[in-house]
Chains A and B, each alone.
Chain A
Amino acid sequence: MPESRPLPGLVAGDTASAQQLADALRAAQPRVHLLAASVLIEAGALEAAWEPISEAARCADDPRLRAELGDELLRLARGWEGRHQHHSAGGALRLAARLAPERAVPALARHVQREGRAEEALALWTEAIRLDPGEADHHLRRGRLLEAMGRLEEARAGYLRLIEELPTATNALTVAPRLERLSTRLPPVPGAGIRIAMLGSATLDQLRDCLVVQAHRAGLRPRTQLARADQYTREILDPGSDLYRFAPEVLILAIHRSRLFPGLDEVAGHPSVDDRRATIASGVDTVRTLLRAFRSRSQALVLLHGMVVPQRPLRAVVDMVDELGQRDVFHQINRELARLVATEFDGVHLVDEDAVQGRCGKAAATDPRLWLATRMPWSDSVLMPLADEHVRHVLARRDRARTCVVVGLDDTLWGGRAGADGTGGVRLGHRPPGNAFLAVQRQLARLRGRGVQLAICSRAGRTDAVTLLQTHPDMRVRLDHFAATRMDCASTPAGVREIAAELGIGLESIVFWDGNPGERARMRTELPQVLTPEVPADPARHRQALLDLCVFDRVWGP
């Protein structure tokens, strides 16, 4: 029998060190159990692995260890699933969901759903979204489940929430067919239906999907019709075409510059200035002919894409000194198209695709692989903003623009709190960080200049706020700029309701702009008709966020 030796480093009587060692050994125990379980799972001894792993779970406090245990339990559950031991798998998943919810709750939701317990699965998917709202798969699976349960309006709302969280083209392409399918099963919404036809010289399917999604976000229920690429002339000139049978309310015409202005886009030689002018006139005349033919048969709103100015002109640096260089050519074409639609047609809008591409970054506006593979002219970075631009025009034409911005005060019109900080203490002025709030106020003043009403709804105390509004030297929006005010509000949704009544406008005309996330959440829940956009956490980004709100456009006559 081996002789018992004292542990290295331990001196007899040193109880403190002994206690320290004992604590360390106890702390290591769960990790030892985890290691044992891991070895057993790897060997396929799943039942034997359960005891050490559940033992480890009982005393695992360290977050990293809990995460590792969660992963191991997921492996164990997968093993049991593979052997059709669903009950055991469920037990492992439930334990994993307690230890590492973000990873394990979705797995448990899938398991429960396969077992046919729809309500429980739905609750788990909802929890999975709460834990990780940026994971598209959770939203999509929850939506599919709701569809299967016949809860169609909730499914629709769920898909749209995914787009609010992650407004990417990929998500839009996934969600669009589902929204279209749901639209056929949901009761119609009065005034929301809209028929949109699309014609162009390239593959428009992806743009159509993004348009469907953006239209749903704007409260519309679109039906779309898409002609094959390059069929626009036939569709417009033939009175018996599918286009006219569809009787669109909106026609989107996205024709590439190479089709309308051949010779200006790609040239083997170098046409003379006179030839270039002749090509411009001829192309504009083609557009005129198409629009006249269409207008003779339909009063639909036409959204005509302007030409994109090439990022790299054919003659490179010489282009700038050319009498009518390629950049100049396409700028001139856009001006002539704008004049054409403004002077000769009613209900034809020019869509400034060049500006949209510029905002997204022209260098990445086209994915050459997608163009060569499928003639898809826009990369995913452009698709959603371009579709948004279409919807902007549609809403403007339908007079569904928002006409009133209701703002909060503290951390919204100025930084800090009027009551606590006073005129000298709040952040507002020409120096940072107060200049961020000054920029917002200037933007609000511009909106007011465009006819948008301003109003205040805030919990801030009236006396302090009014003093600040009247006396602060850098205040750009004064008290008399606001058409209605509600301060000292116990409830901002109630205040907004009163403002709508006072101004005689509907809630769907109002945008609520408040830097406080709690107020925004309350408004969204209690008054979903009011548009409550996200306000970035950093005030430096407030003005841009306000500028990006494309909901104030209106079309005032010719």
Chain B
Amino acid sequence: MRGRRQRSHARAAGDPSLEEQVDSVIAASFNLDEDELPVPASRETISSWTSRSQMLLLMNLEKRFDVCLTLEQMVGMTSAQRIVEVLRPMLG
């Protein structure tokens, strides 16, 4: 892990941002607290982000955001940022 996460994308008030929701799913999938997520959160920075846990992450993302990912989207989801980039247009 690389240091504790600074919640730079947290808004002063309002609903959780998409970034925060994605962080929450990533943390749950890799058995971490949100505060333990490194910046940036990616396959390279999270040691437990294996192909085995990647599958769980994808299933959790589909469930949480009620979306159906394509194969291409699935294989491209290798970091929190990439996940947000894929999800944002899907969620409108």
- A interface residues (Cβ-Cβ under 8 A, vs B): 41-42, 44, 46, 75-76, 78-79, 81-83, 114, 137, 140, 144, 169-170, 173-174, 177-178, 205-206, 209, 368-370, 372-374, 376, 380
Contacts and interface: CB of A to CB of B under 8 A. Distances in A.
A167 to B, nearest CB: 15
B45 interface: no
B71 interface: yes
Interface string B5-24: 00100111111100000000
Nearest to B64: A137
Contact of A369 (B29, B51, B56, B69): B69
A373 B54 CA distance: 11
Contact of B12 (A44, A140, A170, A206): A44
Candidate in B35, B52, B74 with the most chain A CB atoms within 10 angstroms: B52
Given A78-B14, A82-B11, A380-B59, 8 more contacts: A46-B13, A75-B15, A78-B16, A174-B60, A178-B31, A206-B52, A209-B52, A374-B51
Given A170-B63, A173-B55, A374-B51, A76 B28 contact: no
B75 interface: yes
Interface in B36-92: 51-52, 54-56, 59-60, 63, 69-71, 74-75
A41 B13 contact: yes
B64 to A, nearest CB: 10
Contacts of B35: 114
Nearest to A79: B13
B29 to A, nearest CB: 7
9 contacts: A75-B15, A83-B12, A140-B28, A174-B28, A174-B29, A174-B31, A369-B71, A373-B71, A374-B51
B10 A82 contact: yes
A137 B28 contact: yes
B37 to A, nearest CB: 15
B55 A44 contact: no
B20 to A, nearest CB: 10
B70 A369 contact: yes
Nearest to A140: B28
A170 B56 contact: yes
B55 A376 contact: yes
Contacts of A372: 71
A120 B71 CA distance: 44
Contact of B13 (A78, A170, A368, A376): A78
Contacts of B74: 369, 373
B50 to A, nearest CB: 9
B5 to A, nearest CB: 13
Contacts of A81: 10
A404 to B, nearest CB: 39
A79 B55 CA distance: 34
B33 to A, nearest CB: 8
A171 to B, nearest CB: 10
A75 B51 CA distance: 36
B60 A75 contact: no
A79 B12 contact: yes
B55 A374 contact: yes
A76 B13 contact: yes
B38 to A, nearest CB: 18
Contact of A370 (B7, B28, B52, B55): B55
Contacts of B13: 41-42, 44, 46, 75-76, 78-79, 82
A166 to B, nearest CB: 11
Contacts of A178: 31
